[in-house]
Amino acid sequence: MNIVVVRYKNKEVEECCLESVRKFTDLTRHTLTVFDNEPENINLGKLWNRLIEDSQDENICLLNSDTVVEEGWDRLEESLADTTVGAVGPITNKCGGEQKNLTKAEAIEDINDLSGFCYLFTKSVWRKVGKMPEDMPFYGQESILNRKLEDHGYKLKVDRRVFIWHEKGSSWLKAKERGDMKM
């Protein structure tokens, strides 16, 4: 699995994210790709598409830089063995969807909408349904990908065995403060 983290002007929060990934991820089995988008300010959808395309891994995890993972979080990848699954994500404390405030359980369940704070999928499915939209601002690309996945008959799953803490919006707020919302 390639864990893709895009840094963007929020060094302290981003360091917490990366520290947790390094602590709780076997990086002899997984790849960590970190891209600092501050100097280039590339549209996020375009940047993700480029980083996914360049990845040597089949399984891709887009992980927001304002998250903190826990031990065993990479169990999320197990769901991708089911070829009917388009994307999977964990439960969390904050997000714009149904994954918020679900209790931990030994269950992987269907979900109507999957938030992009931690979003796992396969590169082959991503190619099949169409890449991330590149004409959107700072966030929301996963909502379009969710619909594409469902339109192609794939399921969205929430893995209630895994909790990932999410600061939600810290990068977006930093970008807004600096007037950088042209992404």
Check residue 96 and give its pLDDT.
87
For residue 180, is pLDDT > 80?
no
Residue at 73: amino acid letter: W
Dist CA 20 CA 108 (whole Å) = 23
Check residue 136 and give its pLDDT.
79
For residue 14, is pLDDT > 90?
yes
Dist CA 125 CA 10 (whole Å) = 31
- Asked whether the whole model's pTM tops 0.75, one would answer yes
What is the percent of the chain where pLDDT is above 70?
91
Tokens of 97: 């969807």
Dist CA 111 CA 130 (whole Å) = 21
